[in-house]
Amino acid sequence: MVQKGYGGTSISDIAQVVGMTKAGLYHHIAGKQDLLFQILQHAHDEMERLVIEPAKQVGDPERRLIEITRRHVRGILDGGLEFTLLYRERHHLDDAQQETIALRTRAYLALVGATLQELAMEGKLRDLDIQIGTIHLLKTISGIADWYPMFSEIDEDHLVEQTVNFGLSAILKR
């Protein structure tokens, strides 16, 4: 089967234009995919080490949510999670790689969601859709990687505490 890409251009055409053999081009693309996959796996490893594992040690759900928020923001600011922005590129991975990364992302969402569920059972949660609340909290945190470089005059400790306040006030009755 002739593989046709954008505008009817074949892989052979592209290989010719960029001066590579077809096998060489496949090798090049696979190499770039693997590099991105390794980087995203590393980012998740760091997330587990810096955020998830320490947070799981905290029994009280309110303190656990504070710990998750504080450690996730701190991870972004310290550069431990500097690859956060590369998540946007995950659609370039092959299917199996995408699934591996998606599973790890869902595991983190599940940890935060379960924490909000515990808070609901303790009567501490606002009238809040847990799924939406979980995602909004995590987007507030991960969004920092987007905008903080343009506002780097803001003190890091101040940003960490303000983000904890913002997120917890949105989620908890208090």
Residues making contact with a copy of itself (CB under 8 A): 17-19, 88, 126-129, 131-133, 135-136, 139-140, 143, 146-147, 151, 154, 158-159, 162-163, 165-167, 169-171
Longest CA span, the chain: 65
- The total of other beta-carbon atoms located within 10 Å of residue 134's CB is 22
CB-nearer residue toward a copy of itself: 3 or 165: 165
Q: Are 67 and 55 in contact (CB under 8 A)?
A: yes
Q: Report the nearest approach of a copy of itself to the CB of residue 88 (Å).
A: 8
Whichever of 36 and 116 has its CB closer to a copy of itself, that residue is 116
Q: How far is the CB of 110 from a copy of itself (least distance, A)?
A: 14
Tokens matching residue 11: 């892989």
| SS3 category, 123 | coil
Which residue, 22 or 136, is less far from a copy of itself as judged by CB? 136
Place of tokens 């913002």: 166
Q: How far is the CB of 6 from a copy of itself (least distance, A)?
A: 14
Query: Position 43: which residue type?
Result: A
Residue among 89 and 118 whose Cβ is closer to a copy of itself: 89
Q: How far apart are CA 167 and CA 172, in angstroms?
A: 9
